[in-house]
Amino acid sequence: MVEINPPPQSERFQLCQEAEKWITPRIKSVYLGIIDLIFELKSRGYTLCTASGETSWTLRGYLTGMGVIDCFTHLYDPDLVNTAKWSKKYYQEIINDMNISPSDGIVVDDSSMHLSFAKKVGFLTVHVLNDSKCEESSCDYHINRSNELVDLLLTIE
């Protein structure tokens, strides 16, 4: 209708990526208390990493916009570990890259499915409950809100 030709197929991905890199740092949408929680965990000496289904540039944009990007050591996203989040391989790649024992790591997520994969490779898992419950066997701990995480960590250290 407006007679605008799209860019060539070979340029579309780069154009979308550039747009996303520009847009995401400007988004100001975050769960209440998350920024304070991230700073508190960092100040307590935790090494913070992401285990996200987003691309690394998208998540980097969100975390930059939140002002917490410097709190994170690694951004583990499907494009950086070369596998999708819904598999044991995803979490095994994180273990391999960090060169840690999985028992030294804690995965916090609102998806019981993702937590079940993390638990299968040996991570301690914390389910932030949303509308769904998870089976006891798929995660180690449950919290109702993210702000309960610090208290939980103090009890399991």
The whole model's pTM is what?
0.82
Number of residues in the chain: 157
Type of residue numbered 80 = L
CB-based burial of residue 85 (10 Å sphere; 0-12 exposed, 13-18 middle, 19+ buried)? buried
pLDDT, tens digit, for every residue of 80-103?
888 888 899 999 999 999 999 999
Taken in order of first residue, the domains within the chain and their CATH numbers are 9-156 (3.40.50.1000)
pLDDT, tens digit, for every residue of 29-39?
788 889 999 99
Give helix 112-120 / helix 88-98 axis angle, nearest 10°: 50
Residue 79: how many other CB atoms lie within 10 Å: 13
SS (H, E, C) 28-49: CCCCCCHHHHHHHHHHCCCCEE
